[in-house]
Amino acid sequence: MKRFHKSRRKRPNQKEAEEWIKRGSGSVMSSPDHVSITERKQRLAKLSEEFEQMLKSHLPRSRNLEIVILKCHILIEYMFDQFIDLIAPTEGVIENERFTFKQKESIVYMLGYPADPIFFTSIDLLNTIRNKVAHTLSVDRALIDKFIRINSEDPDDVRGLSDQQRASAIKRITAFLCGGVCLVLLRPSTSMNGWMIWSNKRLIQ
């Protein structure tokens, strides 16, 4: 089967090192460690469908602002995990390492995610909003409005928003950002601007 440079081999440990020393030799990679192009394409094909199901399951009709913030943050982190696992030369590493959300964001960028300032600023704002909810039980509505504003074509869209409207906007923006990650994985040359044109949707209505 045709292969490309991607491995599922787990990181070597001390036990493997001792066995190498005992035998005097060892194998860095074996055939089962290689991930085929077909396997990767199949996983990519399932990702969009899986994400749609996650949106339906985890972001139903809830308008509770705190719950929406926490769940949207989890969805973004899930998409970061998928991006890293699919793009990095070795898969499965992200499952066993305890990277912070911010570290994952940096890894996503280092692995070649388009340098879109709106995307990364939005992620940073959502992370700050989430941390305030998780650690201080407070909701920074001014910061939420800023998050919504930078994803809107019209600054007037954020004036006089209720918490229900804020929750709806956060869900729409999260779906948009995660959809952008899916599209970049499926079409590596796609920029976030291209995704914006392709989607042709207003985030704030």
Q: Backbone phi, then psi, for 90, in 5-degree steps?
A: -120, 125
> Taking the alpha carbons of 100, 175, 149, 186 in that order, is the dihedral positive or negative?
positive
State residue 153's pLDDT score: 82
Cα separation, 37 vs 3, whole angstroms: 6
In this predicted structure, the answer to whether residue 178 has a pLDDT above a threshold of 80 is yes
In this predicted structure, the answer to whether residue 166 has a pLDDT above a threshold of 90 is yes
State residue 198's pLDDT score: 38
State residue 30's pLDDT score: 67
**Cβ contacts of residue 135 below 8 Å, gap of 6+?**
none
Based on its alpha-carbon atoms, the radius of gyration of the chain, rounded to whole angstroms, reads 20
Cα separation, 133 vs 139, whole angstroms: 6
Average model confidence (pLDDT) for the chain? 82
Integer angstrom CA distances of residue 181 from 125, 169, 186: 17, 19, 9
Condensed to tens digits (0 to 9), the pLDDT of residues 46-97 reads: 887 888 888 888 876 778 999 999 999 999 999 999 999 988 888 877 877 8
Spell out the domain ranges in the chain.
36-199
* Long-range CB contacts for residues 101-108, cutoff 8 Å, separation at least 24: 101/73, 101/77, 101/127, 102/127, 104/77, 104/80, 105/80, 107/80, 108/80, 108/83, 108/84
Single pTM value for the model: 0.80
